[in-house]
Amino acid sequence: MISFHDVHKVYDDGTIAVNRLNLEVPQGTLTVFVGPSGCGKTTSMRMINRMAEPTSGNVVVNGADVATVDPVRLRLGIGYVIQGGGLMPHQRVIDNVATVPVLKGMSRRAARKAAYAVLERVGLSAKLATRYPAQLSGGEQQRVGVARALAADPPILLMDEPFSAVDPIVRHELQREILRLQAELRKTIVFVTHDIDEAVRLADRVAVFGPGGSLQQYEEPARLLSHPANDFVARMIGAGRGYRWLQFLDATQLPVHDLPRLTASEVAGAQLHDDWALVVKSDGTPLGWIDEAGVAQHRDGAPLPDSITSVGALFRPNGNLSQALDAALSSPAAMGVAVDKEGKVTGGVRAGDVLAALDSHRRH
């Protein structure tokens, strides 16, 4: 457990960076510090490993005031990931990952051997081990940074805006990777970001920091979205608060409707009774939507891929209301495609049913 007890940080010019912070990060959870620039979130996180020192108050890690612990020994037991990975450019990937185990006394041979396993754990090929950081993509560099932080198997992991320098697609992949790793490893993670969507997606609990380094609210994401503590938090969450909340609402009871389906071989002779029909492959997985104009094009010789429209997002088993609404709204037929675990079509979901389920959640 990590605890902040009345922690105050004032710079020499009188600027208050952190204002009387009281907060507990439970063991084995992922807590996100979020807020605008200059609100004290990074300074607060850096106090955990003594890269910043409080003016008053204390930070306690596993029962010990960090001010009483040698900073080098403290940092060797805490993984640290920064933007861009913070890799040493003159060292190969494998040696970057092996750095902390070697510093803790492991032989370089043993540390390198263990590093291969960590690279695999974060989804990197062993063939990247002999490359230098400049030879990697931004996403690969960030994964190496995570691997290096995990190499000595620390119980605590600090992550300072680690994904802000990569493009949105890579960022989404890295977020998914962190969630997978956390499900396996159950580290105590403090993650700093200015992105409320990233905070809500990743966190077990979210700490919202405001101007002057004051903690505004500390809640589970669903509670934060449904009950912002004040106007600042509401503005931080933004206009999409209701939509974000949907991802925490279960959709397993959502009705799944029949939808018109055609196999690829049936398209040319089809007479559509609805505006759209779903074309499915021989294995039952969706290929795309087709309307009467698409059927006519196919009859006139156009290849099937040119005659159909994208399926849109898919609604999968154990999905949430956000995923169901996304599937419905991204479908040209106003009916989201629901599939089973094998990806085979089971029916369709409607936006109206999502709104009805949301209303039911609010009433109960």
Q: Is residue 38 part of a domain?
A: yes
Same domain? 199 vs 153: yes
Q: What is the pLDDT of residue 240?
A: 72
Residue 244 banded pLDDT, cuts 50, 70, 90: confident
Summarize the confidence of residues 350-354 as an average pLDDT. 93
Residue 239 banded pLDDT, cuts 50, 70, 90: low
Same domain? 233 vs 301: no
Q: Is residue 346 part of a domain?
A: yes
Q: What angle do CA 21, 24, 27 make, to 5 degrees?
A: 150
Structural domain containing residue 280 = 261-362
Q: Is residue 256 part of a domain?
A: no
Summarize the confidence of residues 239-257 as an average pLDDT. 83
Q: What is the pLDDT of residue 85?
A: 72
Same domain? 206 vs 317: no
pLDDT of residue 84 exceeding 80: no
Summarize the confidence of residues 172-189 as an average pLDDT. 93
Same domain? 87 vs 147: yes
Same domain? 270 vs 134: no
Averaged confidence pLDDT in the chain: 92
Summarize the confidence of residues 339-353 as an average pLDDT. 94
Summarize the confidence of residues 6-35 as an average pLDDT. 96
Q: Give the residue from 20, 16, 28, 17 showing the smallest Cα distance to 4.
A: 20
pLDDT of residue 165 exceeding 90: no
Which of the listed residues 238, 253, 276 is the one where a domain comes to its end? 238
Residue 245 banded pLDDT, cuts 50, 70, 90: confident
Same domain? 164 vs 310: no
Q: Which CATH number is 40's domain given?
A: 3.40.50.300
pLDDT of residue 227 exceeding 70: yes
Spatial distance between the Cα atoms of 305 and 310, rounded to a whole number of angstroms: 9
**Which of 42-51, 248-257, 267-276 has the lowest average pLDDT?**
267-276
Starting at the edge strand found earlier in the chain, the sheet holding 16-25 runs 16-25, 2-10, 56-61, 64-65
Residue 164 banded pLDDT, cuts 50, 70, 90: confident
More confident residue, 364 or 55: 55
Q: What is the pLDDT of residue 28?
A: 96
Q: Which CATH number is 303's domain given?
A: 3.10.580.10
Same domain? 339 vs 203: no
184 in Cβ contact with 120 (< 8 Å): no
Question: 73-76, long-range: CB within 8 Å, 24+ apart, which pairs?
Answer: 74/49, 74/50, 75/49, 75/50, 75/51, 76/100, 76/103, 76/104, 76/152
Same domain? 153 vs 302: no
Q: Dig out the tokens for 184 from the structure.
A: 């396996």
Same domain? 51 vs 176: yes
Query: Model pTM?
Result: 0.80
Residue 257 banded pLDDT, cuts 50, 70, 90: very high
Q: What is the pLDDT of residue 357?
A: 86
pLDDT of residue 364 exceeding 80: no
Residue 362 banded pLDDT, cuts 50, 70, 90: low
Residue 238 banded pLDDT, cuts 50, 70, 90: confident
**Which of 89-98, 161-170, 214-223 has the lowest average pLDDT?**
161-170
Q: What is the pLDDT of residue 332?
A: 93
Angstrom CA distances, 330 to 61, 290, 309, stand at: 46, 15, 11
110 Cα distance to chain centroid: 32
Q: How many domains does the chain have?
A: 2
Q: Indicate the residue type of 227.
A: H
